[in-house]
Amino acid sequence: MTRSSRACRACLAALLVAGVARAQTRPVPELADYAVLGVGDVTIRAESRVASGAVGSVGGTVRLGRQARVANVVAAPTGRLGPKAHGGTVFCHFVNGPPTLPTCNAFVDPLVDPALLAPVAVAPGASDLRLPPHTGTAPVPAGSFRDVTVGRGSVLQLYGGTYAMASLHVRRHGRVVCATECRIGVLGTVAVGPEAALGALAPLRSNLVRIDVAGTGPLPVFVARARADVSATVFAPAGDVIIGPLGSYRGAVVGRTVVVGPGATVRADSAL
């Protein structure tokens, strides 16, 4: 072997070592980097796509269903990949799935500081706000309500600021939109009906809308049905979150557990 060939091999080895070192020192995502984060388990169903932002579980398992796609980081103590599922960089302690597995990069627990995942206190008002089907409102100023219900095909405009309510239900084809930056606190549950919408008036400004759900218990505290459109950050660390099939979601989702239904698309634009 000539001196030049030995030098080339030494250079190649150094480059490989440097590449491995860079991969191992890639930073774990911060809270604001996540599109989907669970305190416990996170499930991304078949053929769903997380087009931007990380997917993570602080203390459970991230499961990617058949042909699910995560363009960015997947981070969790345990990762489980279905057939033809794909994630970007993977941080984990253990991974299983198809014959070809991704590299499992180490991280130090906890993935996210638990102090950042404390539920937000909400104090609702005493009066209901109900829109009959196929009606609309002028922008409603910031305030506190008891139960808020938006009828089928109706539009509730929120002017902006801070809102508090006991529950929020948006019926099929209904819409709740924030004209400017707003923060909505819900003590109990949020239900977004099929093909209904919740969040920013302009979807590309979804980072200006945050929905804090304080509810807990055995039933989900945030449910978006099939083909719903949510453009906001949903922060429900004490309750379970279900994102329906074939929906469009821009912002971020944090829950005790999170399920993203089949065929849904999620894009990160966090308000955290």
Confidence (pLDDT) at 14: 34
What does the pLDDT look like over 114-158, one tens digit per residue? 999 999 999 999 999 999 999 999 999 999 999 999 999 999 999
Confidence (pLDDT) at 99: 77
Phi, psi (degrees; rounded to nearest 5) at 203: -55, -30
What does the pLDDT look like over 213-226, one tens digit per residue? 999 999 999 999 99
Question: How far apart (Å, rounded) are the C-alpha atoms in residues 66 and 95?
Answer: 16
Arithmetic mean of pLDDT, 18-41: 76
Question: How far apart (Å, rounded) are the C-alpha atoms in residues 267 and 248?
Answer: 8
Question: How far apart (Å, rounded) are the C-alpha atoms in residues 7 and 126?
Answer: 78
Confidence (pLDDT) at 202: 85
For residues 100 and 155, the model is more confident at 155
Question: How far apart (Å, rounded) are the C-alpha atoms in residues 166 and 187?
Answer: 5
Residue type, 266: V
Confidence (pLDDT) at 98: 81
Determine what percent of the chain is predicted with pLDDT higher than 90: 86
Instruction: Determine the 3-state secondary structure of 112 from DSSP.
Output: coil
What does the pLDDT look like over 185-206, one tens digit per residue? 999 999 999 999 999 998 778 9
Spatial contact of 63 and 80, defined as CB atoms under 8 Å apart: yes
Confidence (pLDDT) at 7: 41
Arithmetic mean of pLDDT, 238-251: 98
Q: What spatial distance separates the first Cα and last Cα of the chain, rounded to whole Å? A: 58
CA 175 to chain centre: 20
Question: Does the structure show a pLDDT above 70 at 22?
Answer: no
Arithmetic mean of pLDDT, 52-69: 98
∠ CA 58-59-60 to the nearest 5 degrees? 110
Size (the chain), residues = 272
For residues 244 and 203, the model is more confident at 244
Prediction pTM value: 0.90
What does the pLDDT look like over 41-59, one tens digit per residue? 999 999 999 999 999 999 9
Question: How far apart (Å, rounded) are the C-alpha atoms in residues 187 and 1?
Answer: 73
Q: Give the residue among 31, 38, 223, 239 at the shortest CA–CA distance from 120.
A: 239
DSSP 8-state secondary structure symbol assigned to residue 190? E
- Where are the chain's structural domains? 3-114, 118-268
Arithmetic mean of pLDDT, 102-106: 93
Question: Does the structure show a pLDDT above 50 at 13?
Answer: no
Across the chain, which distance is largest between two alpha carbons, in Å?
86
Confidence (pLDDT) at 97: 86
